[in-house]
């Protein structure tokens, strides 16, 4: 299973903003240079992150984007759920009617357990953890 580019780039973008916390807002062009993400893609990624309250934006000549929250409170799990809608690794976990075998599928519970394990791990890692390099031990 792969996370979409949107999730991976959202994490990269938020880390860049967290690293510059306390500075003036950063314009999209500067974010594109520092993250290697194209400006149009940044604008697509920023919309859901703003709606989720992770990014604030200011208009005007000195405008731009900044982190809207404490890096210690924003988890990778929250970022993935914002960008993907869920952290489920199988579509049948989001919608049972997608598969006519959902009710008697012998592997569905395994996909659900794996999804919850991944979600727990992602929820245990914050932007602050990544910035400090001090990642928590696994939750096993």
- Token look-up 């759920």 returns 81
Show me where the domains of the chain are located.
Answer: 5-67, 71-132
The structure tokens listed for 37 are 């993400």
**Which one, of 121, 118, 119, 116, lies nearest residue 139 by Cα?**
121
Task: Note the CATH architecture for domain 5-67.
Answer: Orthogonal Bundle (1.10)
pLDDT of residue 112: 87
pLDDT in 10s for each residue of the chain, 140 residues: 678 899 999 999 999 999 998 888 999 999 999 999 999 999 999 999 999 999 999 988 888 999 999 999 999 999 999 998 887 877 777 777 777 776 778 888 898 898 899 899 999 999 999 999 877 776 55
Look up the pTM and report it: 0.85
Q: From CA 119, how far away is CA 102, in angstroms rounded?
A: 21
């Amino acid at each position: 299973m792969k996370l979409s580019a949107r999730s991976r780039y959202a994490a990269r973008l938020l880390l860049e903003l967290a690293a510059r916390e306390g500075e003036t807002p950063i314009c999209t062009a500067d974010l594109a240079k520092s993250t290697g993400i194209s400006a149009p893609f940044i604008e697509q990624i920023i919309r859901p992150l703003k709606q989720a309250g992770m990014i604030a934006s200011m208009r005007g000549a000195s405008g731009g984007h900044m982190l809207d929250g404490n890096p210690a409170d924003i988890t990778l799990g929250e970022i993935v759920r914002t960008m993907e809608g869920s952290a489920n690794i199988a579509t049948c976990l989001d919608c049972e009617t997608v598969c006519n075998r959902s009710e008697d599928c012998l592997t569905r519970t395994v996909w659900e357990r794996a999804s919850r394990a991944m979600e727990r791990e992602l929820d245990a890692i914050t932007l602050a953890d990544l910035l400090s390099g001090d990642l928590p031990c696994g939750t096993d």
